[in-house]
Amino acid sequence: MNKLVFILVLISTSLFSQVKIAQLKYGGGGDWYANPSALKNLIKFTNDNISTNIASTYDIVDINTDKIYSYPFIHMTGHGNVVFNDTHIKSLKTYLENGGFLHIDDNYGMHNYILREIKRIFPDRKLQVLPNSHPIFHQTFNFENGLPKIHEHNNKQPQAFAITHNNRVILLYTHESDISDGWEDSKVHNDPENLRLLALKMGCNIIEYSFTN
């Protein structure tokens, strides 16, 4: 896709016009389709709380197509292997460096695989741990202690890693948090409502940051 056309597509999306967001379908055998109710609930929460106008249904976008350029925000999750080919790497790099935003949430088990693929997209950049003072934690909702812990796996602290471009986070990788599990319908994991609310508030912050920075 022509870079100028992509930039114009992104400029046309804002808090004041309805946009669609998407979940990324990728190869490698990992369950890209995990958490099917998560984005639906996050969209509703975000629209209700910060007056966004995001379409209530999200799209599934296949990494093998140029359709990724149609979305200002793409979410990715799963438990297992992730494999991008050279065309995917080039396409994702173009998308991210020209206004797109990718949120990757480790649903437990994708960590080593996604680190490998991020390194292929940005071989000259290092994933940085976002400090608790970063603006993404202080949008409409305030998270003084940074990324919240939704599900426990390894007794490790949740971490938010980022790739930045022109002083803007363009790729956010959330690890040891399971934040998108917290966006799911309450009956899926039976999480207490206070944890679900924390997850939804943090997700709302992520979308708000991606739209306004």
Residue spans of the domains in the chain: they are 3-170+179-212
Q: What are 84's two structure tokens?
A: 């991008």
Strands (E), the chain: 22-25, 59-62, 74-78, 102-106, 128-129, 159-165, 168-175
Per-residue pLDDT of the chain (213 residues; tens, 9 = 90+): 344 344 444 444 444 458 999 999 998 888 899 889 999 999 999 999 998 999 999 999 998 888 999 999 999 999 889 999 999 999 999 999 999 999 999 988 899 999 999 999 999 999 999 999 999 999 999 999 999 998 766 778 999 999 999 999 999 999 998 899 899 987 776 778 899 999 999 999 999 999 998
Tell me which of 1.10.510.10, 3.40.50.2300, 3.40.50.12140, 3.40.1710.10 is the CATH number of domain 3-170+179-212.
Answer: 3.40.50.12140
Whether residue 182 contacts residue 200, with contact meaning beta carbons closer than 8 Å, is answered with yes
Whether residue 26 contacts residue 106, with contact meaning beta carbons closer than 8 Å, is answered with no
